[in-house]
Amino acid sequence: MQQLSSQFLKNALILSLALNAGLGIALAVRGSLGKKSISSLAQSKQMTNESVIHLYRGLAMQDLILELKQREIVEEGITCGDIALGCLVAFHDFDLKRVLGKGTIEERTLIYHENGRITTLTVFPFLTPEQQQALFGFATSERWPLTPRGLFNALKVHREEGLKGAFFQTATFRALEALLPGVSADLLLSALLEEEWAKVQQLRFAIERMGAGPALFQITNGGYSVELFLSAAFEYALKRLDDDQVIALLKKIRFPSRSSALFAKGLLLSPRSDAVHYLSAALLSKIYQKPLEEPFDRYRAVELFCPELSTQ
């Protein structure tokens, strides 16, 4: 029995060593892909800033991070690592300022051709060894080393909790959250993700200039943006919108919520047009799953959907 146990432990150890060796080989191969390609470019005398940009342009973020250590000079004092960092910043939203601070970072512009057009890449060739070390440490240890825009675009793909938490800490999100007290972070995020990043950045300044009501009404395209508008600017929606705007808003409500139910009840009780009253009652019919009687009678609808008023 002891021999069997000893043999089992020996086999387990061999298996563990084999797995670790395989993982090490896999990482080494991945990390050497860029280096081998660089070497082949150098040997064929085709290693230029432009050729390295094209090589790195197609690498994944993880592979580009491994290339940050490559200090071979390509042209004009620019190294492979410089170009790798430039590609990380330009094409992967790598947050350079988060690790190096908000001070001025000296940069240079490289010109290259892509799809028959002249374009540029910003590189940062004058970082100190300490800055380079801090940068590599940040890139390899931080799970989400992305700018706010990078975090936002990643959230459009998948809503991982750690990714959400990282975006919640950005200055952009915190500024909007402060301007919209009482709105849950998850609702605000869901509404923002229905927009493009440029509109998200503009929204803060629109709220500061116009107020939450008018600014949020401009982005009510349906879905969570409507719920955000009703949650953050309920009185504005109920009192300040004209009938045409209210009708357009009612047609955009896609799912039931407490805010949309209260909004529809408020409209049903208000001195609005018959069209507004009818659409409000139709929405309440969906929310409470109660059939709407035809021909429509506003007072019967009030009794049906606002029983707390009819019993007083």
Give me the pLDDT at residue 244, please. 98
Computed on alpha carbons and rounded to an integer, the radius of gyration of the chain in Å comes to: 29
Mean pLDDT, residues 238-258: 95
Mean pLDDT, residues 244-249: 98
Give me the pLDDT at residue 40, please. 65
Q: Report the distance separating Cα 203 and Cα 200, nearest Å.
A: 5
How many CA atoms within 13 Å lie on the side-chain side of 112? 20
Handedness of CA 148, 150, 155, 159 (dihedral sign): negative
Q: Residues 213-226: pLDDT tens digits?
A: 999 999 999 899 99
How many CA atoms within 13 Å lie on the side-chain side of 146? 22
Q: Is 234's pLDDT higher than 80?
A: yes
Q: Residues 252-296: pLDDT tens digits?
A: 998 889 999 999 999 999 999 999 999 999 999 999 999 998 899
Q: Is 25's pLDDT higher than 50?
A: no
* Percentage of residues of the chain with pLDDT beyond 90: 77
Give me the pLDDT at residue 9, please. 38
* Percentage of residues of the chain with pLDDT beyond 70: 85
| Domain regions of the chain by residue span | 33-141, 146-236, 241-312
Q: Is 50's pLDDT higher than 80?
A: yes
Give me the pLDDT at residue 3, please. 44
Query: Phi, psi (5° rounding) for residue 187?
Result: -65, -45
Give me the pLDDT at residue 19, please. 36
Handedness of CA 156, 158, 162, 164 (dihedral sign): positive
Burial of 256 (C-beta count, 10 Å sphere; 0-12/13-18/19+): middle
Mean pLDDT, residues 38-56: 80
Helix (H, G, I), strand (E, B) or coil at 118: strand
- The segment with the largest mean pLDDT, out of 42-46, 71-75, 259-263, is 259-263
Task: Mention every residue, 6+ apart, whose C-beta is less than 8 A from residue 187.
Answer: 224, 227, 228, 231
Task: Mention every residue, 6+ apart, whose C-beta is less than 8 A from residue 185.
Answer: 168, 173, 177
Q: Residues 176-217: pLDDT tens digits?
A: 999 999 999 999 999 999 999 999 999 999 999 999 999 999
